[in-house]
Amino acid sequence: MPTHHRDDQELMRYLLRTADQLGVASYVAPYRELLERLIREGQYGANAGEDDRETFMEQAEMAQLLCDEIGLGVVSISAVLLEPPYIRGSVTAQEVEELCPPGTLPLIERLAQTHELYHRYDLRQANQGEEFLLTIAEDIRVVLILLVECLNKLVYAKERMDESRRVLLAQVAQVLFVPTAHRLGLYKIKSQMEDLIFKYTDPKHYYEIKELMGQTIVARQEYMEAFVAPIQAKLEELPLRWPYTIKSRSKTFTSIMNKMRNKGVSFEEIHDLSAMRIIIDAPPEEEYEACWLVYSIVTDLYTPNTKRLRDWISQPKANGYESLQITVQGPEGKSVEIQIRTTRMDRIAESGMAAHWRYKGVSGEASLDSQLTSMRQVIEDLAGDKEKASTLASLRVESRDIFVFTPAGQMIRLPKGATVLDFAFAIHSNVGLMAQSAQVNGKRAKLRDKLKNGDVINITTAKNQRPSVDWLQSVTTRKAKNKIRQAIRDQQESGLQAGKELLERRFKNRHLVYQESIFTTLLRKMGYKGNMDFFIDLSEERINVPNFLDQYAELCADAEARAAESRRVAPTPTAIKSTEAPDGREIVVSTADFKGLEYTLASCCNPKMGDEIFAYPSKSGLKIHTRNCPNAIDILGRHGDRVLPARWRGMESSTVVATLYVTALHDAVAIGRVISTLHQADECVLLNEEQQLDGGLWHGTFTFREGERQALFALQAQLQSIKGVQQVRLEQ
């Protein structure tokens, strides 16, 4: 607990003596001059600032605690004493560099930055207090200074704060500092904090327990004297070859209240209100023997509860704590907790890592700094048990995470390396998707800029903002990447539909008929591998639509001209009879112009007798392909007007032809689907087709070989199911 001194000068002398004892006598004179000047200027007076921490008395007491309880050196003391005047500009960076030990200025600046976050935001949001503290502070010494500062504030809170501020301070202490003190083995500080927190957050029960403990103090003292007497007599009788001390203490109010709540018992039903400690002054090589010898003496006198035995000597805790703990049944059937430890173990238990560092031979701020820079390194020097592994895992968070804030003070935890855009998505998906610009700590920043601990980020959004593929390079979190990818997919689907609808409207305006083969040919000519990218570009106005329609109309006109020429030279199909090929050939082509023309079987499909076939006049002559030839789709789609019906000799149909008459709305998509369906009907041989427009309607006449009646009925039904088709009539 902080100690009250008579005046500032006495405290200053104490601190200078402490610095001298730490082996930094060369800094005593500069310190005296600097501190005396600051005191004369009133930098540590009661009116120096509204913040209670900024009085010299409290600063000095904090420094004293850091020396005595935790073991920090002159650099940390300097940072504690000089940070308030440094922030106000009463001490310059040059003065600190010249008059203080090396490393003091960076620690002051880190402490000041952490204080800014600590005072600006509601730190009760931090679910894992010690992780948050370690992450924002980056230097464990800052965490320890904040820990002592919080204890100091709690001590004076009753005098200097109203109830609401006291409760707020207690809540922050409970969330942030109690777990940290426990983790570091600073049990004395932890117990003091917990009782003060209890006092401010639940004063009714606190004062009830305080009164009850006061009423039973005499009885408890008498009981402990009676309990200790046989143990002391036995130790003297041996005699024990090591000096020893027996201490008793009352349990903290917090631990008593917790036991009452957890076990559902009253104060009168708690029998172990006091605990006893036997401290043996044995050398390190005899510690194990000494502790277990005393244990055997105690358990010979009192019945132990073996379920409550805790052997922290064979396997020390990760924070260095070592002790034998046992609960025995004393007089009147009451339970008494006994801790058996050596002098070295007791100092570590009381002062935590401070004592551990001293026993490890750490001396001077330079050596200590190497131990403090990374908490992980400190813990690694401790016991190698399972608890150590879990402790290390929780402490490594300092290298993985950062804590940043919204302008309203909301704390956001992000992985190290996260960007402004990651932050926007962490706030809300819509904020991320519409993020346009940002400010970090009041300055303009790019969305891809990386964030650091304590940054305050303000995001500006725009309704017309849309994510792009490039955004994926500006984020690191999985959430942001997934949201961006999903948004891009949604944009593509939306653009695809919008592009199709736009093209359909333009086709209607120009009275154009959608023909898939011509459309595909034009897209390839424009460099598109598929129609998705084309429709998206169309919806985003990256295509000159009038120019596209002109090219499409030109291709349609060319195709129509070729078809007209083909129809002009081709007579209406008639019954195919074997007399058409008196030359004995196996294949008959139903066009007089090609009578007697030599043909060859295409090597790409090797037609065989019985296959459904068609003839294609190429530059090298008439080629015979099967209907399921790998090249059939391309030939029929691009040169359908030149394709001729063909059959094998002797496979005549019973009827000449069948005709499908299709009427549909003048709709590019509907007409395109009709044409595509007809050309892809594998079981029906299309002999001829004609198309014409009549106002808002489109009429198509399609002539087939009639031999596949069931296939034609199925094709008729398939055409009738197409949206926009008005009528499909089959004549045989």
Is 78:100 a contact under the CB 8 Å cutoff? yes
Distance, in Å, from the CA atom of 599 to the CA atom of 596, rounded to the nearest integer, reads 9
Architecture field, domain 657-731: 2-Layer Sandwich (3.30)
Q: What is the pLDDT of residue 574?
A: 39
The CATH H-level (homologous superfamily) assignment of domain 205-351 is Beta Polymerase, domain 2 (3.30.460.10)
Point out which residues pair with 248 in neighbouring strands: 276
Q: Which of 253-257, 522-526, 588-592 has the lowest average pLDDT?
A: 588-592
Cα 426 to chain centroid, rounded: 8
Residue 488, pLDDT > 90, answer no
At position 604, the amino acid (one-letter code) is C
pLDDT tens-digit series, residues 322-332 = 899 998 998 88
Residue-by-residue DSSP string for 340-400? EEEHHHHHHHHHTHHHHHHHTT--HHHHHHHHHS-HHHHHHTS--SHHHHHHHHHHGGGGT
Q: What is the rounded average pLDDT of the residues 295-313?
A: 88
Query: Tokens representing 280?
Result: 């043996």
Point out which residues pair with 460 in neighbouring strands: 437
* Residue located via tokens 């308030």: 84
Residue 255, pLDDT > 50, answer yes
Is 110:398 a contact under the CB 8 Å cutoff? no
Can you give 550-604 as a three-state secondary structure string? HHHHHHHHHHHHHHHHHHHHCCCCCCCCHHHCCCCCCEEECCHHHCCCCEEECCC
- The proportion of the chain whose per-residue pLDDT surpasses 70, expressed as a percent, equals 70
Q: What is the pLDDT of residue 513?
A: 74
Q: What is the pLDDT of residue 171?
A: 87
pLDDT band at 405 (very low <50, low <70, confident <90, very high): confident
Query: Tokens representing 652?
Result: 């005549």
At position 590, the amino acid (one-letter code) is S
Question: Between the CA of residue 496 and those of 452, 513, 533, 539, what are the distances in Å?
Answer: 41, 20, 8, 7
Distance, in Å, from the CA atom of 167 to the CA atom of 171, rounded to the nearest integer, reads 6
Distance, in Å, from the CA atom of 632 to the CA atom of 640, rounded to the nearest integer, reads 10
Q: What is the pLDDT of residue 248?
A: 82
Residue 22, pLDDT > 90, answer no
Is 726:656 a contact under the CB 8 Å cutoff? no
Distance, in Å, from the CA atom of 395 to the CA atom of 402, rounded to the nearest integer, reads 13
Q: Which of 237, 216, 218, 234 is nearest to 278 (CA)?
A: 234
Query: Tokens representing 522?
Result: 């034009």
Query: Tokens representing 352?
Result: 């935590």
pLDDT tens-digit series, residues 99-124 = 777 888 988 888 888 887 766 655 55
Pairing, β 274-280 against β 335-342: parallel
CATH 3.10.20.30 fits 401-476, yes or no: yes
Residue-by-residue DSSP string for 685-711? -EEEEEEEEETTEEEEEEEEETT-HHH
| 303 or 8, which is more confident | 303
pLDDT tens-digit series, residues 166-225 = 888 898 888 888 887 877 777 788 888 999 999 999 999 999 988 888 888 888 888 888
Q: Which of 701, 686, 693 is nearest to 636 (CA)?
A: 686
Backbone angles phi, psi at 71, to 5 degrees: 90, 20
Q: What is the pLDDT of residue 384?
A: 37
* Residue located via tokens 């109010």: 253
Q: Which of 699, 697, 692, 687 is nearest to 659 (CA)?
A: 687
| 205 or 387, which is more confident | 205
Architecture field, domain 8-202: Orthogonal Bundle (1.10)
74-88 and 28-40 helices cross at what angle (nearest 10)? 30
Distance, in Å, from the CA atom of 437 to the CA atom of 418, rounded to the nearest integer, reads 16
pLDDT band at 77 (very low <50, low <70, confident <90, very high): confident
Question: Edge-to-edge, what's the strand order for the sheet holding 697-705?
Answer: 686-694, 697-705, 657-665, 725-731
Dihedral sign of CA atoms 443, 448, 452, 454 in order = positive
Query: Tokens representing 486?
Result: 């999903």
Query: Tokens representing 470?
Result: 């490039």
> CA triplet 143, 147, 153: central angle to 5 degrees?
140
pLDDT tens-digit series, residues 532-569 = 778 777 877 788 888 888 888 888 777 776 655 554 54
Query: Tokens representing 300?
Result: 């010979």
- What's the burial of 577, exposed, middle or buried (CB within 10 Å: 0-12/13-18/19+)? exposed
Is 297:326 a contact under the CB 8 Å cutoff? no
Q: What is the pLDDT of residue 550?
A: 86
> CA triplet 38, 43, 44: central angle to 5 degrees?
100
Distance, in Å, from the CA atom of 556 to the CA atom of 548, rounded to the nearest integer, reads 12
Backbone angles phi, psi at 323, to 5 degrees: 180, 155
pLDDT tens-digit series, residues 653-699 = 444 468 888 888 877 778 878 877 887 776 677 777 777 877 778 88
The alpha-helical segments, DSSP class H, found in 428-477 are: 429-433
Strand ranges (DSSP E) for 619-676?
621-626, 644-648, 657-665
- What's the burial of 648, exposed, middle or buried (CB within 10 Å: 0-12/13-18/19+)? middle
Q: What is the rounded average pLDDT of the residues 34-46?
A: 62
Q: What is the pLDDT of residue 197?
A: 93
Q: What is the pLDDT of residue 278?
A: 94
Q: Tell me if residue 638 falls in helix, strand or coil.
A: helix
Point out which residues pair with 419 in neighbouring strands: 450
Can you give 179-191 as a three-state secondary structure string? HHHHHCCCHHHHH
Listed by start position, the domains of the chain span 8-202, 205-351, 401-476, 489-563, 595-648, 657-731
